[in-house]
Every structure is written in structure tokens, then in C-alpha cells.
Amino acid sequence: MSETLFSGMPTVRYAGPDSRDPLSYRYYDANRIVLGKPLGEHLRFACAYWHSLAMNGSDPFGTPSLMRPWMRTADPMQGAREKADAAFDLFRVLDVPFFTFHDRDIAPEGEDLRGSLSNFHEMVDYLGARMQTSQTRLLWGTANLFSHPRFMAGAATNPDPDVFAYSAATVKHCLDATKTLGGDNYVLWGGREGYETLLNTDLRRELDQLGRFLSLVVEYKHKIGFAGQILIEPKPKEPTAHQYDFDTATVYGFLQRYGLEGEVKLNLEGNHALLAGHSFEHEIAMAAAFGILGSLDINRGDPLLGWDTDQFPMNLNETAMALYHVIKAGGLGLGGCNFDAKIRRQSIDPADLVHAHVGGMDHCARAFLIAAAIVEDGQLDAALAERYAGWTGAGAREMLKGKMTLEAIAAAAEDRNLSPQPRSGGQERLENLLSRFF
């Protein structure tokens, strides 16, 4: 492996909460047993190739601010190899257990579909070889079906059937590669699956196209024996004004409509929850309630801005409560905590990338320890159980069993001449209880 931007950096290690070394983990002790298993196995952190290796700091007002060496290499395939070397060296520095990628992050676009697929498979082989000598495994793969202008009117929902077919071919090869590299999940974020104006959009047709596309992916997953999960990543807006995969509840309805609710789970992102007018914990709890919690893109947005700023998580209350609901749901299983997060445009030093991830991992570890302490304490759970205790009674349960009619319930209520008394929800008491853990 050639020299990389990170060659001179030692692997970041756990050094305890009192450590003053900014490049040490103070809370992320991957081997520490929490709630019966190692912390690292609860969190399953992943580094996102696109933000960390492919992003160049450009924004709608400015040119790239982060010109990494591999971005200047004349031969794009050689650049892709240098980028992969840098990626695996960064993973070594962070000691991060997983990574995630889009096809286009790891390999350049070719002259045509065949050329792009050939570049892609060549780089998948290269990554496979890198993985032989690395601890870092693949959390998920995905296809970039939104950057190239061919996708400007959507991928699966495009009015042009050739774009649907092009996208199908791309996803087929990405799923093959994800399986080959031992990925635990395959993610579909509907980048431009949405619309700008109904003047040029046949909504019903586009939804049916999306439903069929997803069914094709699920059929193929079973055909090749991919043991991982298929995940949809909801997002309400950006890039299109009306994204079809708006939020957890919307996607669940969509999955039900196309009979896929038992096949597909969700990859939930903090910033996307915020854009949908929800909190991260709401989206997680909602997915858990539907039984479709899959994985997390653990980042944060700026509540003052209306777009996907993809910042590293740093709000302890927000992250702890998100992870509390993950624990309550039984954990992330094959999913993990993917840093779909990018450094700011001014953070131009390679070390900034390391600081960002070390901070993010440590922050999440600390938040997880807080969430685990709340679970172990049990008072919040007890308060919840107490609030719904009335439903444990036989009479109450009868009403939900589907055997009592509305008339029967009415007759019983009249018979008992009910006069239910309001009870306090106790929110402030519970908030005070929570604040003891922070």
C-alpha cells in the first residue's frame, strides 16, 4: 500500500474519561460489556466512504476546498485505488469496525453502462483485497442513482423506462458486490424518487414503478441468497420537493401497499428525521413499533437550517434518547451506526476527518452508556407500565381482542356508569428523572 494522508497517524485507542489526548477514545471502549455484550457490538460504527473520501468541500456557492491527493490523479482508476488505500488507512487509524459505500464513491463512471460496471467490479475486487488485511467490514453497500443527470427525473420512478432498466442493472451489480464483500445490509435511499411539480408527474404510475423496483430487488436478494437486510432510507425533501419515502410512517404504508413489510426494514437518519418535522427518537420508536428498525445513519442537522447538513452527532440528549429506543427495540441486529456525516467546508486538514470520527464515536458511546443506565435503572419503564396498568385488567383486554362489539362495550360502560377521572401525565417529573443521568 502506498503512503496515504493518514500514514503518519497512530491508531486511536481507548484511554478513559480522564484522558486529555484529543485523539483518544474516552468512552468508546469497544470491549466493555454493557447490557450483556461488548459496547462495540451494540454500536457497530461505520465510516461513510462518500463523505470521508469522496466529498471535496464544494457547495452551491463555492468550489472544492478539500482537494485530496487522489482527486488530482489523472487516471481516474488509479485515483480510485489511491482513494481506497487512504480509506483503509483511515479505518485503521479510527479502528472502526465497518464502512459503507455507493458504487460511484469507490469507482469512477465509465463511458457507458458496461464501462461503469467494469470499473465498479475492478474496484470491488480491490476493496476485497484491502479487506483481507483489515479489521473493517462492510456494513452496507448502495448505488448512487441520483448524481448523474440521467437520474434527474428519478431512477425507478423515471418517466423513461430505459432509466428504470439502467437503475435495475446498477442495483443488481451493487447487490452482488455487497454480497461478495460480506455486507450485512443493502440500502436504497430514493435520491430523486420524488417530484418537483404535479404538472409533469403521474404520481400513481411513479409509485407503482417504485413498488415494482423494490419487489425486484427483494426477489433477487432471495435468488442469490444474500443473507443481509434490505433497507429503505426515508427522507422527506431534498433533492426533490416531495420525496416518496417521506418518513417511517409513510414508508411503512408504502411497504404494506406492495406487500413488502416483512421483507424490507429502514435505515433511519437523524438529519432526515429533523427535516420531516420529527425527532430521531420518534422515527426510531415508530420503526420499532412497526417491527422495521434496521440501521441508523447517525448524524445531526442544524435546527436553524432547512437542509441536510449531515453533521457529526454531538447533542447528548438527542443521541442518548435515540439509542434508548434502540435498546428498547432489542438493538440494531445486523444494522449499525453509520456516520453519514461530513466535516465542514473549512475543516481542510486530514486530521479534521479523524477528530470528527473520534468525537462522533466517543459521543455515541457516551450516549449509549447513559441510555443503558436509564434502562438498567428501570424507573422510566416502571412509570410507563404504571401509566398503562389499567390495560392489564381482564375487562380492558377483552375490548381489544376483537370479540366485543361497539354495542357490547357501550352496554358495559353504561352498566358501570363510568366516570373516568383525569390523571397526570407527569412529564416534568419524568424529565427530572432523566436529567439525573446526564
By CB under 6 A, is residue 308 in contact with ligand XLS? yes
Alpha-carbon torsion (381, 385, 387, 388), positive or negative: positive
By CB under 6 A, is residue 263 in contact with ligand XLS? no
By CB under 5 A, is residue 245 in contact with Ni ion? no
Q: Which of 102, 272, 357, 363 is catalytic?
A: 102
Question: What percent helix, strand, coil does the chain show, rounded to 5?
Answer: 50, 10, 40
Helices marked H in 237-349 — which ranges? 248-257, 270-275, 280-290, 316-328
Phi, psi angles (nearest 5°) of residue 254: -65, -45
Residue of 297, 321, 362, 371 that binds ligand XLS (CB under 6 A): 297
**Distance in Å from the first CA to the final CA of the chain:** 44
* Interface characters, 195-234, with ligand XLS (x: CB under 6 A): --------------------------------------x-
Phi, psi angles (nearest 5°) of residue 300: -140, 155
By CB under 6 A, is residue 142 in contact with ligand XLS? yes
Phi, psi angles (nearest 5°) of residue 98: -140, 165
Which residues have CB under 8 Å from 436's CB, separation 6+? none
Select from Ni ion, ligand XLS, none the partner in contact with residue 142, using the beta carbon and a kind-dependent cut-off of 5 to 8 Å: ligand XLS
SS3 79: helix
By CB under 6 A, is residue 247 in contact with ligand XLS? no
Select from ligand XLS, Ni ion, none the partner in contact with residue 281, using the beta carbon and a kind-dependent cut-off of 5 to 8 Å: none
DSSP conformation class of 53: I
Taking the least distance from each CB to Ni ion, the nearer of 95 and 269 is 269
* Interface characters, 273-302, with Ni ion (x: CB under 5 A): ------------------------x-----
By CB under 6 A, is residue 189 in contact with ligand XLS? yes
Residue least distant from ligand XLS (Cβ) = 189
Select from Ni ion, ligand XLS, none the partner in contact with residue 6, using the beta carbon and a kind-dependent cut-off of 5 to 8 Å: none
Phi, psi angles (nearest 5°) of residue 46: -135, 145
- Residue 105 a catalytic site member: yes
DSSP conformation class of 142: E
- Give the shortest CB-337-to-ligand XLS separation in angstroms: 13
Residue of 176, 193, 247, 308 that binds Ni ion (CB under 5 A): 308
DSSP conformation class of 422: P
- Residue 272 a catalytic site member: no
Residues near ligand XLS, by CB under 6 A? 102, 142, 187, 189, 233, 235, 269, 297, 308, 340
